[in-house]
């Protein structure tokens, strides 16, 4: 049986448990080394302040080095190097603090040396244990990532054979996509040719394929562009397996997956630790905001209810993460009216459909408040590209370059485009293109601090705008 499992969808939780395990081991190894050094002597330095400092320093330094980034390609030797650097830095700074206080004597140096050895070995053993457990699960078919390869070339077949020989990686090749006839492919490795390249986008969407690997040399630039164009409506991660086996040592910046060089072309920033941080940020802030604004939401709901007949909430299907359909909630701002199936008309200035209360809500963006419930449901984020009606997506996805990459992250209530004044009508491709450029800038530069900056700008610059109608 092949299954993605809980680990695949909760990599951030695994990274959190590794952090907690490291902190426990820092604490335990520090106390053990202290006890072995001083054995109850009265001149022992303060223990808990030192341990707390090392815990914070080690966590911060290894976080910056990418130790907790979820990746099947990270070698144990690389993790050992990061742990070594983190331990050396943390205990060196602690030793410097003792020196500045004239307390760096022989017993302190012995304590720090024992702590360094015991702590480094313990945290390295934890990683070895986690690797063994994950490898065992993957060999049994759990925690799998699925991959399709374009095309069935010699490098593509080499990649497929290599991955099948390393089941501990948990990467399952489903098959190939190639435009050549079967009589020309000679793919005798047991993997099927699933169709032509133009059919790949539908397949990866319907089958929830994790990644597409393009196995072509750099000189096949035109063919690579054709494949990327065929995948323009997909949010699946696309990676290039460049034909660099003969000179791989010249470019160590490439990611290594079981000895295969891999270059990610459009990977999502919300992987592993980042995804967990984003989820925590969204849930905590959304809950706090809803608690604060619940009286205001009640008053708005009553105003909408008594202003015009119809439901208080307006629910509309839009596209979310990975282009999946979500239902976005807003306070109703228009009178109930007929909308032909498959059509959508954006509100215009002085739109007769907008109620008097609705006009105020739209100007002040108070109609968006129910979307914090969408955030708690996990369908949206507080910060991200704004979700558009499905009809708008269909209109612009073939017109604006890289439009669908907006769906590599969850849509947001506010975003980088909105705080830069890009609101209102979408009556020209140029207006949508500017928003997409800002959305992609946000995705490429995402961080917790960038999110907090956008939230602060949303508050400082206010919720009103001349194009909000």
pLDDT digits (tens, 9 = 90+) for 401-417: 888 888 889 999 999 99
What does DSSP assign to residue 150?
Answer: E
pLDDT band for 345, please (50, 70, 90 cuts): low
Q: Could you give the angle at the alpha carbon of 13 between the alpha carbons of 7 and 14, nearest 5°?
A: 60
pLDDT at 60: 86
CATH fold of 145-264 reads Rossmann fold (3.40.50)
Q: Which residue has the tokens 């490898």?
A: 135
- 201-247 pLDDT, tens digit per residue, is 899 988 889 889 988 877 788 888 888 888 888 888 888 887 654 44
For 31-85, what is each residue's pLDDT tens digit? 999 888 887 666 666 778 888 999 999 988 888 777 877 666 677 877 888 898 8
Range among 36-40, 133-137, 184-188 with highest mean pLDDT value: 133-137
Q: Is 68 exposed, middle or buried (0-12, 13-18, 19+ CB in 10 A)?
A: buried
| Alpha-carbon span 288 to 293, nearest angstrom | 9
Model confidence at 106: pLDDT above 90: no
More confident residue, 337 or 319: 319
Q: What angle do CA 439, 446, 77 make, to 5 degrees?
A: 140
Q: Looking at the predicted structure, is the pLDDT value of residue 269 above 80?
A: no
CA atoms within 13 A on the CB side of 258: 18
Contact 28, 122 (CB under 8 A): yes
pTM for this entry: 0.62
Per-residue pLDDT tens for 442-460? 988 888 889 999 999 988 8
Alpha-helical segments (H) within 148-252: 154-164, 182-185, 200-206, 221-230
CB 229 within 8 A of CB 40: no
Average pLDDT over residues 126-147: 85
pLDDT bin (cut points 50, 70, 90) of residue 87 is very high
Give the residue extent of every domain in the chain: 5-139, 145-264, 273-460
Contact 95, 88 (CB under 8 A): no
Output the average pLDDT for the chain: 82
């Amino acid at each position: 049986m092949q299954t993605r499992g809980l680990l695949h969808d909760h990599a951030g939780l695994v990274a959190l448990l590794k952090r907690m395990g490291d902190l426990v081991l820092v604490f335990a190894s520090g106390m053990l080394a202290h006890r072995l050094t001083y054995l109850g002597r009265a001149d022992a330095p303060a223990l808990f302040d030192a341990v707390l400092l090392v815990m914070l320093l080690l966590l911060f330094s290894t976080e910056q080095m990418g130790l907790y980034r979820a990746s099947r390609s990270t070698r144990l030797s690389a993790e050992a190097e990061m742990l070594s650097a983190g331990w050396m830095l943390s205990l060196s700074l602690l030793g410097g603090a003792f020196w500045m206080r004239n307390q760096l004597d022989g017993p302190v140096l012995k304590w720090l040396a024992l702590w360094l050895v015991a702590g480094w070995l313990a945290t390295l053993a934890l990683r070895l244990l986690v690797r063994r457990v994950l490898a065992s699960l993957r060999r049994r078919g759990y925690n799998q990532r699925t991959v399709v390869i374009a095309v069935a070339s010699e490098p593509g077949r080499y990649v497929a054979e290599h991955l099948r020989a390393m089941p501990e990686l948990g990467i399952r090749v489903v098959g190939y996509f190639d435009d050549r006839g079967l009589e020309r492919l000679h793919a005798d490795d047991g993997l099927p040719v699933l169709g032509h390249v133009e059919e790949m986008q539908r397949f990866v969407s319907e089958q929830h394929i994790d990644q597409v690997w393009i196995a072509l040399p750099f000189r096949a630039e035109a063919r690579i562009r054709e494949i990327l164009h065929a995948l323009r409506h997909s949010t699946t991660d696309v990676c290039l397996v460049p034909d660099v086996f003969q000179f791989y040592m010249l470019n160590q910046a490439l990611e290594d997956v079981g000895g295969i060089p891999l270059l990610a072309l459009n990977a999502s920033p919300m992987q592993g630790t980042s995804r967990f941080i984003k989820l925590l940020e969204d849930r905590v802030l959304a809950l706090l905001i809803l608690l604060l604004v619940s009286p205001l939401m009640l008053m708005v709901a009553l105003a909408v209810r008594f202003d015009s007949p119809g439901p208080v909430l307006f629910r509309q299907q839009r596209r979310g993460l990975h282009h999946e359909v979500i239902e976005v909630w807003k306070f109703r701002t228009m009178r109930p009216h007929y909308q032909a199936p498959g059509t959508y008309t954006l509100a215009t200035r002085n739109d007769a459909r907008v109620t008097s209360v609705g006009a105020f809500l739209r100007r002040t963006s108070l109609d968006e408040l129910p979307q914090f419930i969408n955030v708690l449901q996990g369908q949206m984020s507080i910060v991200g590209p704004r979700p558009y009606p499905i009809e708008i997506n269909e209109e612009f996805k073939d017109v604006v370059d890289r439009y669908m990459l907006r769906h590599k992250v969850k849509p947001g209530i506010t975003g980088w485009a909105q705080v830069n004044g890009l609101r209102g009508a979408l009556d020209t491709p140029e207006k949508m293109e500017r928003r997409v450029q800002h959305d992609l800038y946000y995705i490429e530069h995402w961080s917790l601090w960038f999110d907090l900056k956008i939230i602060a700008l949303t508050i400082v610059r206010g919720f009103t705008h001349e194009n909000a109608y």
